[in-house]
């Protein structure tokens, strides 16, 4: 391959490249990819140079930083291949931390250009480090180490967590008016090194229009922690941000029967509704005991679920029917099915306000939260043989929530482009 820089101006660079053809289409495509990478790497090298200083002293507050006498070489990883260039490194006359203007100005993340860090961390949010390496080699002809993938992704995730309070993200522009907000939270188990299976928390904030069509969902997730304090504070912050944008929308808390969830939701929503589909599951459980005839059972389930959804007071009538069912000749297992249903209805009957919700076009199901447990946590962190340390799990969950919340991933990288990342490091 023969690549040559022909001309460079303030507006760009002219690069000449010769692309050889192979004996087959596949071989030719591989050679074309190599040529593209060579041109990309050469152009990136020239762009990087423009973000460096001329070596003159830099005033930062009351401190003057001076460049070292000679440029220091550094290898940068780019979407097209590694690029090594010399750049000025600064230090104050008192020593201490060094400072590289090029790294800060070009928004370098560790040793990666921002776009490559964006690509790598996005892929890592969806798959393991080894799979990311294979993906990049097959798709882009890029060979990188698994440790590089993990380090870059951890840095990106750490920035997201660090800037969570100071960087605010806008909800994408919606075509329809938001009339209601559903807020839900749930827990799902994952394996943590040294602690075994623990509960990770997931929260969702969904926006609905006047016809109860879901328009947008914000996802929040947190690694397993005792007390859930970090998750709840993060979730509360997101809820307040959304409620501030849509102050006239009706807030509906939606979850299953876990008591801890409702203590939180009651403080942040005006209406609390227990998930309709959990309740119908208990109706089915009771029906399996109350009816021997399959046709009668299905008819009772269908009628009960319809009434529960559309008729006010239906929950009390269903509960009364189950309580009145004679238990004298039932087995221990069947008595447990009946009694657990009675307990569930009795504890949650005030939150079974489905007919009102349906009439007012408000959501009645927490399916979006349950799906988030699977999509955000299970699909990535609970594959066969996976074991996670706290930090690694937190990083991946942060990346996945940003990627799954429409508009947030690009907004995050726009903020990186605008504000940059820390570029100081200690001298060893």
Q: Domain locations in the chain?
A: 1-107, 180-275+365-409, 277-355
Poorest-confidence range of 257-261, 295-299, 300-304?
A: 257-261
State how far the alpha carbon of 174 is from the alpha carbons of 69, 182, 216, 407, in Å. Answer: 55, 16, 8, 11
What pLDDT, on the 0 to 100 scale, is given for residue 173?
82
Please compute the mean of the pLDDT values over residues 172-188 and round it to a whole number.
94
Please compute the mean of the pLDDT values over residues 258-262 and round it to a whole number.
87
Please compute the mean of the pLDDT values over residues 233-251 and round it to a whole number.
95
Please determine, for residue 425, whether its predicted confidence score (pLDDT) is greater than 50.
no
Sequence-distant (6+) residues with CB within 8 A of 342 are 319, 322, 323
- Widest CA span of the chain, in angstroms? 93
Architecture of domain 180-275+365-409: 2-Layer Sandwich (3.30)
Please compute the mean of the pLDDT values over residues 341-347 and round it to a whole number.
96
Please compute the mean of the pLDDT values over residues 107-134 and round it to a whole number.
96
Confidence of residue 422 (pLDDT cuts 50, 70, 90): low
How would you classify the pairing of strands 214-222 and 196-208? antiparallel
3-state secondary structure the chain: CEEEEEEECCCCEEEEEECCCCCCHHHHHHHHHHHHHHHHHHHHHHHHHHCCCCCCCEEECCEEEEECCCCEEEEEEECCEEEEEEECCEEECCEEEEECHHHHHCCCECCECHHHHHHHHHHHHHCCHHHHHHHHHHHHCCCCCHHHHHHHHHHHHHHHHHCCCCCCCCCCCCCCCCCEEEEEEEEEEEEECCCEEEEEEEEEEEEECCCCCEEEEEEEEECCCCCCHHHHHHHHHHHHHHHHHCCCCEEEEEECCCHHHHHHHHHHCCEEEECHHHHHHHHHHHHHHHCCCHHHHHHHHHHHHHHHHHCCCHHHHHHHHHHHCCCCCCCHHHHHHHHHHHHHHHHHHHHCCHHHHHHCCCCCCCHHHHHHHHHHHHHHHCCCCCCECHHHHHHHHHHHHHHHCCCHHHHHHHHHHHHCCCCEECCC
What pLDDT, on the 0 to 100 scale, is given for residue 97?
84
Mean pLDDT computed over every residue of the chain? 93
What pLDDT, on the 0 to 100 scale, is given for residue 1?
59
Sequence-distant (6+) residues with CB within 8 A of 340 are 282, 285
Please compute the mean of the pLDDT values over residues 414-420 and round it to a whole number.
93
φ, ψ (nearest 5 deg) of residue 116: -70, -40
Q: Which comes out higher in pLDDT, residue 304 or 256?
A: 304
**Could you report the per-residue pLDDT of 196-212, keeping only the tens digit for each?**
999 999 999 999 999 99
Please determine, for residue 270, whether its predicted confidence score (pLDDT) is greater than 80.
yes
**Could you report the per-residue pLDDT of 55-76, keeping only the tens digit for each?**
999 998 888 999 988 999 999 9
């Amino acid at each position: 391959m023969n690549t040559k820089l022909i001309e460079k101006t303030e507006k760009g660079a002219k690069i000449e490249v010769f692309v050889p053809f192979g004996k087959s289409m596949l071989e030719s495509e591989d050679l074309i990819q190599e040529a593209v990478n060579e041109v990309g790497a050469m152009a990136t090298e020239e762009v990087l140079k423009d973000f460096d200083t001329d070596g003159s002293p830099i005033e930062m507050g009351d401190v003057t930083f001076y460049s070292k006498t000679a440029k220091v070489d550094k290898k940068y990883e780019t979407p097209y291949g590694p690029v090594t260039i010399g750049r000025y490194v600064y230090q104050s006359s008192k020593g201490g931390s060094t400072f590289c203007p090029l790294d800060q100005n070009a928004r370098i993340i560790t040793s990666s250009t921002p776009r490559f860090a964006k690509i790598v961390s996005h892929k890592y949010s969806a798959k393991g480090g080894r799979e990311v390496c294979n993906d990049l080699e097959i798709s882009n002809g890029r060979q990188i180490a698994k440790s590089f993938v993990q380090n870059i992704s951890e840095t990106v995730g750490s920035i997201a967590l660090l800037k969570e309070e100071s960087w605010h993200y806008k909800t994408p522009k919606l075509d329809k008016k938001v009339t209601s907000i559903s807020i839900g939270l749930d827990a799902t188990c994952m394996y943590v090194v040294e602690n075994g299976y623990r509960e990770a928390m997931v929260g969702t904030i969904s926006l609905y229009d006047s016809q109860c069509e879901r328009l947008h969902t914000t996802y929040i997730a947190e690694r397993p922690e005792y007390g859930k304090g970090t998750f709840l504070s993060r979730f509360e912050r997101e809820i307040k941000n959304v409620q501030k944008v849509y102050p006239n929308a009706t807030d509906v808390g939606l979850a299953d029967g876990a008591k801890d969830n409702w203590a939180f939701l009651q403080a942040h929503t005006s209406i609390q509704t227990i998930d309709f589909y959990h309740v119908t599951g208990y109706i089915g459980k009771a029906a399996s005991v109350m009816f021997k005839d399959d046709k009668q059972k299905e008819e009772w389930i269908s009628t009960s679920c319809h009434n529960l959804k559309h008729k006010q007071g239906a929950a009390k009538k269903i509960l009364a029917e189950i309580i009145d069912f004679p238990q004298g000749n039932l087995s221990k297992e069947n008595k447990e099915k009946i009694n657990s249903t009675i307990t569930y209805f009795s504890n949650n009957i005030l939150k079974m306000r489905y007919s009102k919700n349906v009439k007012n076009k408000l959501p009645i199901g927490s399916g979006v939260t349950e799906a988030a447990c699977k999509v955000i946590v299970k699909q990535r962190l609970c594959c066969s043989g996976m074991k996670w340390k706290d930090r690694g799990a937190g990083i991946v969950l942060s990346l996945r929530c940003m990627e799954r919340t429409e508009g947030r991933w690009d907004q995050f990288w726009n903020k990186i482009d605008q504000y940059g990342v820390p570029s100081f490091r200690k001298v060893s």
